[in-house]
């Protein structure tokens, strides 16, 4: 419905009515980013200089029956090739703000630019991790793309991790909101009569752990054809190293009469243990 006309009609067009601008800013909506903290980033302390970090891997030894008078067979627990983590992802976000605009605005434009730049790079890091989900478990993705995640899918993923000796401590289920709704519709996962337990503070707050594993909800999952690639993982399945965390600096360019908010990050990510993660499709 339109406002009634003003009388006299020129009171607005000739600027007798003041125009106000709010100092409160409606900020851009951000995704909940969960992937990087849920994988192994402990390698960061090992990286000082260079572009490649080699992660040695061991294998199990074999026990042999003792035969008197016969030397036992030698075992080699160091017979697995190292994982090569290359620091090869380098991104920046540059935001120019001219001097006149900076002086005339009542809003801290530099603070907004810094915040959004850091978020953009953090999201890029998060995406670089979940892009690897679909290749876990030998690229065998459970479920059907675009359909609800079922209890059978969860049980199959849980069983696979168990058979591959992935410890319970350090596991996580990373899904989108549609999958959380699927879980809410599954009585077995929410009814305490089935041993669902009390709501957990780990992961998606207010919901229960699913078979002892906390749920983490995000809208930032890699898209499949219809839905997305979610995963049940142990943190050791993926290695992540940030050689330069997202940091912002302001550069003044007097000859251009403007300043730049520049934020840069440098990192690498690699699959370390393929059998410690099981991807599945979502709606």
pLDDT digits (tens, 9 = 90+) for 118-140: 999 999 999 999 999 999 999 99
**Closest C-alpha to 91, from 118, 54, 129:** 118
Does the structure show a pLDDT above 80 at 68? yes
Tokens, residue 2: 């339109």
Residue partners of 21: CB distance under 8 A and separation at least 6: 106
In the Cβ-directed half-sphere of 147, how many Cα atoms lie within 13 Å?
7
Whole-prediction pTM: 0.84
- CA 242 to centroid of chain Cα atoms: 14
Residue partners of 268: CB distance under 8 A and separation at least 6: 53, 85, 86, 87, 88, 89, 240, 241, 243
Q: Average of pLDDT values for 110-117?
A: 91
CB-count burial class (<10 Å; 0-12, 13-18, 19+) for 18: exposed
Q: Can you tell me whether residue 210 is helix, strand or coil? A: strand
Q: Average of pLDDT values for 138-150?
A: 96
Q: What is the pLDDT of residues 58-67, one digit of tens each?
A: 888 888 889 9
């Amino acid at each position: 419905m339109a406002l009634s006309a003003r009388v006299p009609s020129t009171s607005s067009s000739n600027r007798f009515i003041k125009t106000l601008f709010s100092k409160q800013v409606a900020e851009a909506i951000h995704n909940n980013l969960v992937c990087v903290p849920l994988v192994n980033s402990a390698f960061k302390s090992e990286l000082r200089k260079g572009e490649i970090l080699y992660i040695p891997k061991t294998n199990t030894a074999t026990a042999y029956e003792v035969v008197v008078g016969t030397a036992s067979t030698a075992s080699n627990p160091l017979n697995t090739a190292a994982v090569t983590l290359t620091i090869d992802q380098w991104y920046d976000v540059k935001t120019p703000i001219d001097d006149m605009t900076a002086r005339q605005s009542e809003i801290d434009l530099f603070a907004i630019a810094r915040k959004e730049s850091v978020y953009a790079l953090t999201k890029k890091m998060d995406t670089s991790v979940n892009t690897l989900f679909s290749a876990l478990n030998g690229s065998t993705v459970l479920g059907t793309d675009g359909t609800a995640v079922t209890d059978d899918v969860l049980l199959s993923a849980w069983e696979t991790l168990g058979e591959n000796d992935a410890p319970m401590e350090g596991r996580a289920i990373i899904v989108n909101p549609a999958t959380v709704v699927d879980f809410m519709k599954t009585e077995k996962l929410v009814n305490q009569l089935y041993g669902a337990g009390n709501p957990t503070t780990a992961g998606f707050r207010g919901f229960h752990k699913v078979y002892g594993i906390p749920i983490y909800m995000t809208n930032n999952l890699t898209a499949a054809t219809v839905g997305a690639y979610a995963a049940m993982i142990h943190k050791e399945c993926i290695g992540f190293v940030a050689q330069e965390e997202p940091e912002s600096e302001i550069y003044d360019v007097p000859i251009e009469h403007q300043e730049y908010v520049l934020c840069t990050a440098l990192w690498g990510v690699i699959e370390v243990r393929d059998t410690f993660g099981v991807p599945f499709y979502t709606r």
